[in-house]
Structure 1
Amino acid sequence: MLDRYTIKMVQKPLELMANKINKMGIKADHITLVGFAFGLLAFIAIIFQWYIAGLIFILINRTFDGLDGAVARLQGISDAGGFLDITLDFIFYSLIPFAFILALPQENAVAGAFLIFSFIGTGTSFLSFAIMASKQKIENPVYRFKSLYYIGGLTEGTETIAFLVLLCLFPLHFSALALGFSLLCWITTFNRIWAGYHTLKIDQQDTELL
């Protein structure tokens, strides 16, 4: 919901960093892998209940996630790079709730499992529509620079990052925060299913008429 606004805010700083990194000859895929390594460090930190360290590693991971795209636009966006980026992103988003479960399994297991289940809903509806939109050559006017069609919702990247920050700042309230965010995820999922189905159906009918 907020991505279209936050992307504009961080675009210039990311482009400045990307220009310097590109001149150093560092590849976008390498940035993706290093960013994921910081995500693994966040996972380990949270397991040991080092929540502030986990928060720092999460923010570094998300910074690298924006940076690899900015560098890729300079070096040339590739399907392989987009595949690597989105795959590691979804693994990362599941790793953090799993870390909270391992940190305090008795308190966090049920809410954490429901949260990961909710991420399956948002993730599959996102990726399924992106595949079909690419097949039918549907373009997203808001995110033209993305390697996949980004279908919106209540819980996009910005909201998810804010949620992960709240988890690290208020770890004892994990269950309440996780359940609340899970409900927003399911609203997003059902909206994507409805909107995606009708968008694809209408587009296919228009194509057949041509």
Structure 2
Amino acid sequence: MLDKYITPVIKPLLHPVVSLLDKRQVTPDQLTVIGFIIGLLAVPFLALSLWNFALAAIILNRIFDGLDGALARHQNSSTSAGGFLDICLDFLFYAAIPLGFALANPEQNALAAAVLLAVFIGTGSSFLAFAIPAEKLNLDKPQFAYKSFYYLNGLTEGTETIAIFVAFCLWPQYFAELAYSFALLAGITIVTRVYGGYHTLKTQTINQQISATKNADKDTLETDN
């Protein structure tokens, strides 16, 4: 929900770093992989209850995630392969954080982590499943035109997910309560994405079929004349 507002604010802040990285001949894919590795360090930190170190790893992961896309656009090197790598590693990182809290305190956190992971599967699958037919139907991407593929909006997006991860680290004793609350909001996102995505694709398909029929009729009339 907040991504479309936060992204335009963050982008200008990345320009100096992006220019430096470009001069150093760093590639976007390198940043993606390095950021992912840093993000995974949060898991052992969480398991050992080193909350501040885990928080630092999470924040650094998100910084690298912003830098790789900005660098790709700066170098005019955005590719489907890069977008694929980025989103795959993003979702693996998202899944790793609840796992870390489950390892930290299985008795208190395991069930909440499992619920959160199940909801992440729903938000991720609805997000990615829509992107495939959206690309096929050439749907416009007015809010995220710079992305490699279609970003389907929702109540809980990247910004909200990172905010809850930060909250987990700041108040780890309330992980279960925070996880259940976020899972409820993410559940609403799943429902709205499935409903909205289905009707959007159905309407778009019908419109294209009508347009194709009209064009075929027009061609027939021109041939007869």
Q: Which amino acid aligns with 1:96?
A: I
Alignment of 1:67-106 (within 5 A): 67-75=67-75, 76-106=77-107
Alignment of 1:177-188 (within 5 A): 177-188=178-189
Instruction: Quote the residue 1:45 is aligned against.
Output: 45
User: TM-score, normalised on structure 2?
Assistant: 0.92
> Aligned-residue CA RMSD in angstroms?
0.7
Instruction: Quote the residue 1:169 is aligned against.
Output: 170
Gaps of 5+ in 2: 212-225
Distance 2:23 2:9 in 1: 23
Distance 1:32 1:7 in 2: 18
* Identity in percent: 47
Q: Once the 2 structures are TM-superposed, how far is the Cα of residue 166 of structure 1 from its aligned partner?
A: 0.1
Deviations 1:125-144 (A, max 9, x none): 00000111011111210000
Instruction: Quote the residue 2:57 is aligned against.
Output: 57
Runs of 4+ deviating beyond 4 Å: none
Q: Which amino acid aligns with 1:50?
A: L
Q: Once the 2 structures are TM-superposed, how far is the Cα of residue 15 of structure 1 from its aligned partner?
A: 2.2
Instruction: Quote the residue 1:128 is aligned against.
Output: 129
Deviations 1:30-67 (A, max 9, x none): 00010001111111111111011100110000000000
Instruction: Quote the residue 1:18 is aligned against.
Output: 18
Matched, 1:4 2:7: no
Instruction: Quote the residue 1:31 is aligned against.
Output: 31
Gaps of 5+ in 1: none
Deviations 1:73-112 (A, max 9, x none): 1221011111110000000000000000011000001111
Matched, 1:138 2:124: no
Q: Which amino acid aligns with 1:23?
A: K
- Aligned residue pairs, count: 210
Larger Rg: 2
Q: Which amino acid aligns with 1:201?
A: K
Mean Cα displacement is larger for which, 68-77 or 172-181? 68-77
Q: Which amino acid aligns with 2:82?
A: G
Instruction: Quote the residue 1:153 is aligned against.
Output: 154
Instruction: Quote the residue 2:206 is aligned against.
Output: 205
Instruction: Quote the residue 2:216 is aligned against.
Output: none
Q: Which amino acid aligns with 2:12?
A: K
Distance 1:84 1:17 in 2: 22
Distance 1:97 1:180 in 2: 14
Q: Which amino acid aligns with 1:173?
A: Y
